[in-house]
């Protein structure tokens, strides 16, 4: 299924493949691409049987960032990207990154070629990033006299030391996948990131969907929070899991009995 002629969405065996599909423009982000990504996220949020998402780009590059010429021609489009009713909620520009964080299933970004500016912001919204060693990454907004404003800061504060993040954002330095791995921005390096991401997604199909969903929500909410709420969430989520059927199925499977998991719950 092609969304707004910009993003390809396929779901097979409970794994969604989301492909930015504007290879003639190196998957650069125009207004239709922003809208298509947000629409895909909404669709996936309604898929009750979904177990994982793999995000990639068509052609040689993951995404080279904003299609500046297209967006600058339409000033109203820029306003549509940045406008929000509530200052503390995501606008459309931020949704394409933070929207992956709110899905109750793991999201893998398979990064090849160039992953610059807004492309990197999108990838930072994923739970896991599988990157080609020779890929080129950059927080590139400073080259255009801008700051990174697409929600990737949420991931950067979890993954990098503050001085490292500030330097990358101020300098707009280009760095390789190998360097990204040294900094801690990647989950793994792979010469074939899409194949590696798909294999990792399939591996998680062997785990209880309730557990996978709860771990994602627990770590997203508690990683940088205070101690009390983190401990309370652990207990609450564990009780909910113990009251469900999937934990009992997991025990039977671990004991050598064959059983299939039910679809993931929406946490």
Question: Percentage of residues in the chain with pLDDT exceeding 90?
Answer: 75
The DSSP H or E segment spanning 158 is: helix 153-159
If you average pLDDT over every residue of the chain, what do you get? 91
Rounded-to-integer distance, Cα 267 and Cα 265, Å:
6
Two tokens, residue 194: 């899409």
SS3 171: helix
Sheet holding 52-57, edge to edge: 2-3, 7-12, 15-20, 52-57, 107-111, 128-131, 188-189
Strands (E), 75-213: 107-111, 114-116, 128-131, 136-138, 175-176, 188-189
DSSP 8-state assignment for residue 141: G
User: Model confidence over 177-192: pLDDT tens digits?
Assistant: 999 999 999 999 999 9
User: Identical fold at 2-204 and 209-254?
Assistant: no
Question: Percentage of residues in the chain with pLDDT exceeding 70?
Answer: 94
- The ranges assigned to domains in the chain are 2-204, 209-254
User: Model confidence over 223-237: pLDDT tens digits?
Assistant: 888 899 899 999 999
Two tokens, residue 25: 């423009």
- 3-class secondary structure per residue, 175-239: EEHHHHHHHCCCCEECCCHHHHHHHHHHHHCCCCHHHHHHHHHHHHHHCCCCHHHHHHHHHHHHH
User: Model confidence over 187-214: pLDDT tens digits?
Assistant: 999 999 999 999 999 999 999 999 999 9
Residue 71 pLDDT greater than 60, yes or no: yes
Question: Sign (positive/negative) of CA torsion 179, 185, 188, 189?
Answer: negative
Homologous superfamily (CATH) of 2-204 is 2-enoyl-CoA Hydratase; Chain A, domain 1 (3.90.226.10)
The CATH code that applies to domain 209-254 is 1.10.12
Q: Which is higher by pLDDT, 216 or 76? A: 216
């Amino acid at each position: 299924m092609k969304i707004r002629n910009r993003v390809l969405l396929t779901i097979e065996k409970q794994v969604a493949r989301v492909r930015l599909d504007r290879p003639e423009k190196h998957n650069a982000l125009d207004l239709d691409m922003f809208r298509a990504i947000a629409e895909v996220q909404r669709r996936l949020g309604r898929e009750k049987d979904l177990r994982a998402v793999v995000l990639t780009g068509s052609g040689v590059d993951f995404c080279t960032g904003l299609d500046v010429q297209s967006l600058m021609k339409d000033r109203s489009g820029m306003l549509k990207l940045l406008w929000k009713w509530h200052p503390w909620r995501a606008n459309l520009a931020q949704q394409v990154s933070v929207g992956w964080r709110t899905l109750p299933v793991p999201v893998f970004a398979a990064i090849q070629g160039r992953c610059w500016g807004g492309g990197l912001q999108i990838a930072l919204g994923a739970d896991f990033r599988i990157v080609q060693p020779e890929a080129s990454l950059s927080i590139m907004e400073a080259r255009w006299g801008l700051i990174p404003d697409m929600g990737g800061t949420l991931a950067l504060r979890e993954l990098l030391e503050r001085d490292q993040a500030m330097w990358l954002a101020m300098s707009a330095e280009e760095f390789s996948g190998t360097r990204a791995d040294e900094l801690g921005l990647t989950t793994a390096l792979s010469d074939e990131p899409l194949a590696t991401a798909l294999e990792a997604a399939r591996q998680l199909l062997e785990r209880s969907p309730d557990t996978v969903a709860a771990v994602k929500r627990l770590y997203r909410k508690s990683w940088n929070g205070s101690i009390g709420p983190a401990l309370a969430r652990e207990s609450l989520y564990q009780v909910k899991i113990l009251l469900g059927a999937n934990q009992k199925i997991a025990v039977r499977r671990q004991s050598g009995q064959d059983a299939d998991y039910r679809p993931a719950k929406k946490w």
